[in-house]
Amino acid sequence: MIPHSQKESHRTDRIGWLRASVLGANDGIISTASLMLGVAAASSSPRDIVVAGVAGLMAGAVSMAAGEYVSVSSQADSEKAELARERQELADDPGFEQQELAAIYMKRGLDAALADQVAARLMAVDALGAHARDELGLSETLSARPVQAGLASAASFAVGAALPLAVAAWAPAAQAQVLIALASLVLLCGLGALAASVGGAPPGRAAVRVTFWGALAMGLTALVGWAFGMAV
């Protein structure tokens, strides 16, 4: 028995909500800042820039929640269907399913006798759980949670979008574009580093990656807005 104080701590339980939160915040910053920069480049008034940002925040948050919920719900439905099929196979031919499980353990390095023993023991304790984990690759930690993913995406998008929106609301009109862009790039850099650190990955590469793509998106949107303003 491993003492409680010596148990290892892993980050796999964070993968679901961390992915949705990072995606939502990243999209909130980039899409809202890009939208406001595009409107600003078209020579619109400060009020128009803020209105565009608020509209982007509301539409984006709802869209992220709906999209993430539908996507993860589809994953959850697939997982349930696979488990139902496996449950039926266990009921129809448990002997074959035990052999199938033993073959998996043999591929992982166990000899035939030990693999059969392990498979038999696990089947006796929780047959469906053993097959879900070792045959299908499903686990409670990594299982799909549609509501959690949808709420995390919506909330993180709103928080991410609110930051450049706040800059636009308070920045002087003459410096609005520059301040929105700079603030958004700094936020993206920090978000990338924070997300990598929470997930246990090196922060530098993630920060550069997120910042680069954010700068590209904002630059292209501002260019479109400028071109549209010139045409008008």
CA distance 57 to 70: 20
pLDDT of residue 171: 84
Strands (E), 55-176: none
**136 contacts 82 by C-beta, under 8 angstroms:** yes
Residue 165 region by backbone torsions, left for phi larger than 0, else alpha for psi between -120 and 50, else beta: alpha
Q: What is the C-alpha separation between 67 and 148, in angstroms, rounded?
A: 13
8-state DSSP, 171: S
Question: What string of pLDDT tens digits covers the 232 residues of the chain?
Answer: 445 444 444 444 455 556 667 778 888 999 999 999 988 888 768 888 899 999 999 999 998 889 888 888 888 888 888 889 888 988 888 889 888 889 989 988 888 899 889 889 888 888 888 888 888 877 665 566 788 778 888 888 999 999 999 998 888 878 888 999 999 999 999 888 887 777 677 888 888 888 999 899 999 988 888 887 654 4
pTM for the whole structure: 0.67
Residue 11: the pLDDT is 47
- Domain boundaries along the sequence of the chain: 13-231
The reported pLDDT for the residue numbered 18 is 65
Identify the pLDDT of residue 141: 54
**Phi, psi at residue 172, to the nearest 5°?**
-60, 145
Determine the pLDDT at residue 59.
92
